[in-house]
Structure 1
């Protein structure tokens, strides 16, 4: 009685996979067969691999580095014994962000370390101090950050956690399309911009001239909430963010191929993919998988081995990128307890919106507790390499020495840690957005058995179906009921402790019904499987609700109507309740699960 369309959908490809295994194994030292191949072992890929394993899927992760973690690295200073996070500095709170570290038995109770520094604002091209720049005072900066957040809150559901709710091309808010410089002027948030730029927005290259949408992605709601103290920024109790990836590596064990790259791929229009992977030992491994998850930044160049078709090329060729670098450096001319920030010499101490563009070194900040270590961030163009950026950093320091901003010394520049984060912050023009680029990008999801979104790895599963909801749907048996509740429904107060309440904020019941419909067989054993709340006498309901629900569910049968309090009592006995963002009154519905038909392979 508990058959699942999800399991059946993944099993159709067995014969085709076996044929490809036989054909491909002749040139490979090993053949690996899995449900899902994950390419990229950074934050997205590592998280996805654990989630898939937790949900009963076999995985293999192909990672080009010799460790997991992507932009998260760790350096142990031999001189001071201090441990230093390189790259990612903290986990920003967004909904259930911290549940994943807890799943891996990694605490989030640590505290970030802050060192009081003497800030010097310098034009790194001339080496001269920018004497007419004064950082915004806190009583100017924080209100400006709050104004920024107040505007972003209106668009949160459009951009977080992804573009699943992004509006159609003709309905995109102009705030998100206008250059960020115009947005700053419109909402009077100039005093917040230096903090936004120093945090992450410098990675966009020409920050003030890109569409605001991409600044919101780079320095958006979770980060601004953390800066304002209304959201958390967490680190492990150990202080080592990389601890999470050590735990993941231990969990995945031999299902990770380190120091490995995909050299070719076959992705037919029918189910399944074939990958050839070059390993550190020089040998080829063949991977046959039912699904492929791309968990790295997919550029036209990085996707070349994956047999792109014209539709895919049209999307990837549009993207513009910058390259981002981070790490730790030493130079005897840099002064302890000092932070050097790159600024341009513009008249007026209140000019907070003019910044250097790529290629540029953004900042060099002393690391407290060390003898002479500095963290740096730098942003390059498509043409830059690790070598060219190291040369740029060296020139920036030499120029400051020649200008007398730094004292002369006989020492040389060293990089105890240097990380090339590769191409980041993909973006397009405002006109591309108006032409439907986001919709074209989303249209690639699931196509040719390939996904970028972990919620779409399994065929037929809508991106609005969260991992928790997917688990609930799979666990429900014949006769179990699930409640999709509107935003007015007292989900938490009426729900008994043993019944889970899942959050689907920002998602309407209609969208959830459309996603659930292919996965949930409705009961037809002499019962009415769809129940809605009856309109209270004297009240009015939105006339579109029932019709929308029927259309999304593709259901034209009988709907039982229950009086309000009878509906509450029925909900208390449900298998689970999903609290949605549906704002229309009486937008509640109960679905009773039937017997899932078992299809023959």
Structure 2
């Protein structure tokens, strides 16, 4: 139970806000969750429906689902998932869909495409020949055997991360060096083109962070040892629409935290709806932070010096994805960005970020999915400019169906995925960063989930939540 002193203190902090906006609503909850993406939405459902705890879920957008992005064609009703493509059948993931009566299937609806490798910096075709599919899959199977002994150290979180003197040496070497060391180069094109590209030039990233972008479950999925699935109708957004309907008024949409007080007795948050400007004061016994702990995201939270000193060490990638419409693209094509030095078969050579990774035909009229990988500071506007510049280069070099000047990309959809792929330097890992990071769990009535504490895969985040929730519930 919250102490009377804490409640009085919490309400007292709302008085300046009340003077400016009128007396705010006050909600009392067992757990307040910040962030309605994969980890936050899943945790909210489980805490409320499976453990009978009162919750409030704060989401800055007007929908749940985070990196899930489903485009619906207005003419035909056809859907295309331009964000999350599918779900790994981790643990009880399929059962979570079943509880919302959402049917799932394993079949892919993506059209067969012609891959053309092009250096987007010059527009020149790259005469790159990847390994055969059988060689790539054999390399992924071998890759899985090499990394399996380390799984509990990194997945689904860092609870068992080794002490500094026991960290495997392979964790800290560049991923390209790791693949070469174990003769896994044939697997690099598949690792990169699926999810590895999220960290940018994955050959240069420390292996342990590359494993968070393509690790155990992805390898199992690629080799048939774990299922991949998606809803049979409505796209991947269908799940989060069902969650939204289930949670109802327990979700505060278009809202962000503007002020907080966190103590060992509980937390008090001031939350503003940026559409109505309405302020709500939430007093809760526990806080679950389900957003990336960036400087911007953490500014409204009253971080202690030790919290800030730890969280500020993270660097991130910024990913952007969207759908662009222009008839000069060749339909049935997948334009993939590689440097000219990748030719003819240098499998560990990739572009540096920021860069456009690809333009990929969706099967819907003239729509192409574009993937843009940014660095820590890349913005949405910069990503769109980069996409336009890459398109201009392809157009001028004659790589598209027509050489027409001054063509503009028309954006049918756009989404920012990031910051994500949180990582720190090798020296910081050696100095006990992850031990310090996990010391934050539970301190000041606050728990942490999401990609910085686990991995950037929907169902792996759910698995991490399943292990975290019993800890949150202790003493409630």
TM-score of the superposed pair, with normalisation by structure 2: 0.90
Residue 51 (1) aligns with residue 40 (2): no
CA shift for structure 1 position 169: 1.3
Q: Of the candidates 278, 287, 292, which is equivalent to residue 297 of structure 1?
A: 292
Match of 1:265 among 252, 260, 267: 260
Is 1:17–1:289's contact at 8 Å kept on the other side of the alignment? no
Q: Which residue of 2 aligns with 1:400?
A: 394
Deviation for aligned residue 1:22: 3.9
- Residue of 186, 190, 199 corresponding to 1:204: 199
In our comparison, the structure showing a higher alpha carbon Rg is 1
Find the residue that maps to 1:379 and give its secondary structure: strand
Check whether the contact 2:144–2:219 (CA below 8 A) recurs between aligned residues.
yes
Q: CA 1:110–1:195 in structure 2 vs 1: closer, same or farther (change >3 Å)?
A: closer
In structure 1, what is the equivalent of residue 459 of structure 2? none
Distance 1:24 1:213, change over 3 A: same
Gaps of 5+ in 2: 454-462
Match of 1:40 in 2: 35
Does residue 357 (structure 1) correspond to residue 352 (structure 2)? The answer is yes
User: What stretches of structure 1 move > 6 A for 4+ residues in a row?
Assistant: 468-471
Distance 1:465 1:83 in 2: 29
Q: Distance in 1 between matches of 2:468 and 2:301?
A: 31
Q: How does 1:20-35 map to 2 (within 5 A)?
A: 20-26=9-15, 27=18, 28-35=23-30
Give TM-score, length-normalised by structure 1: 0.72
Change over 3 Å in CA distance of 1:103–1:347 after alignment to 2: closer
Residue equivalent to 1:186:
181
Structure-1 residue corresponding to 2:418: 422
User: Does the Cα contact within 8 Å between 1:118 and 1:337 map onto a contact in 2?
Assistant: yes
Task: Work out whether residues 47 and 469 of structure 2, in 8 Å CA contact, stay in contact via their aligned partners in 1.
Answer: no
Cα deviation, residue 96, structure 1: 2.2
Shift of 1:453: 4.0
How many angstroms apart in 1 are the aligned matches of 2:139 and 2:28? Answer: 53
In structure 2, the CA distance between the partners of 1:121 and 1:31, relative to structure 1 (3 Å rule), is same
Distance in 2 (CA, whole Å) between partners of 1:65 and 1:253 is 15
SS of alignment partner, residue 320 of structure 2: strand
**3-state secondary structure, aligned to 2:378:** coil
Q: Structure 2 CA distance, aligned partners of 1:89 and 1:275?
A: 34
1:82 match: 78
| Partner SS for 1:112 | coil
More helix by share: 2
Which structure's relative contact order is higher, taking Cα pairs within 8 Å and 6+ residues apart? 2
SS in 2 for 1:346: helix
- Offset, 1:468: 9.1
Structure 2 residue 122 is the aligned partner of structure 1 residue 117: no
SS in 2 for 1:274: strand
CA–CA distance in structure 2, aligned partners of residues 79 and 325 of structure 1 = 26
Q: Contact (CA 8 Å) 2:106, 2:230: kept in 1 or not?
A: yes
Q: CA RMSD in A?
A: 2.3
Q: How many Å apart are 1:418 and its aligned residue?
A: 0.2
Structure 1 gap ranges (5+):
1-10, 457-463, 472-514, 520-598
1:153-206 deviation digits (Å, cap 9, x = unpaired) = 111111111111221111111121111011010111111111111111111123
Matched length: 454
Whether the aligned pair in 2 keeps the contact of 1:21 and 1:31 (CA below 8 Å) is no
Is the counterpart of residue 374 in structure 1 residue 363 in structure 2?
no
Aligned twin of 2:313: 318
Alpha-carbon displacement from aligned partner over 1:217-257 (angstroms, at most 9, x marks no partner): 11111111111122111111215111111111111100101
Following superposition of structure 1 onto structure 2, how do residues 512-591 of structure 1 map, counting pairs within 5 Å? none
Report if the CA contact (8 A) 2:3-2:265 is conserved.
no
**By how many angstroms is 1:351 displaced?**
0.3
State whether residues 110 and 362 of structure 2, in contact with CA within 8 Å, keep that contact through their aligned partners in structure 1. no
Structure 1 residue 388 and structure 2 residue 388: aligned?
no
Q: Which residue of 2 aligns with 1:103?
A: 99
**Is 1:191–1:352's contact at 8 Å kept on the other side of the alignment?**
yes
